[in-house]
Amino acid sequence: MITYVILNTTEITDEESIIDFSKLINRNASMLRYSVDGTKALVKYNGEQPDFLNGKTTYTHSEIKAVMQTNEWTSNIEE
């Protein structure tokens, strides 16, 4: 089962980041979905939770779909 976690972007970009992309479905930072303002990023993993995500809020597919539809994650730019 795929599980989703929202991280602060600084947790990924910081020089001392402990994010191990080899344990994620997203294999590098360019593969992540970022919030509209760029301060948060969505990572996902399959199976057992990686240690570096311990203590983080996890989401199921249906839960994260609802989160991704909010203004924080979806820009409502009209053409």
Residues 6+ apart with CB under 8 A from 23: 45, 50, 52
Q: Is residue 74 part of a domain?
A: no
Q: Is residue 47 part of a domain?
A: yes
Q: Is the pTM of the predicted complex or chain greater than 0.85?
A: yes
Q: Which token pair is 14?
A: 């910081």
Q: Is residue 73 part of a domain?
A: no
Residue 75's pLDDT is 84
Q: Is residue 53 part of a domain?
A: yes
Instruction: Show the domain range for 50.
Output: 2-68
Q: Is residue 54 part of a domain?
A: yes
Residues 6+ apart with CB under 8 A from 52: 18, 19, 20, 23
Residue 77's pLDDT is 62
Q: Is residue 78 part of a domain?
A: no
> How many domains does one find in the chain?
1
Q: What is the pLDDT of residues 10-69, one digit of tens each?
A: 999 888 899 999 999 999 999 999 999 999 999 999 999 999 999 999 999 999 999 999
Q: What is the DSSP code string of 3-27?
A: EEEEEEHHHHHSTT----GGGSSS-
φ/ψ of 32, rounded to 5, equals: -85, 155
Band of pLDDT at residue 79, cut at 50, 70 and 90:
low
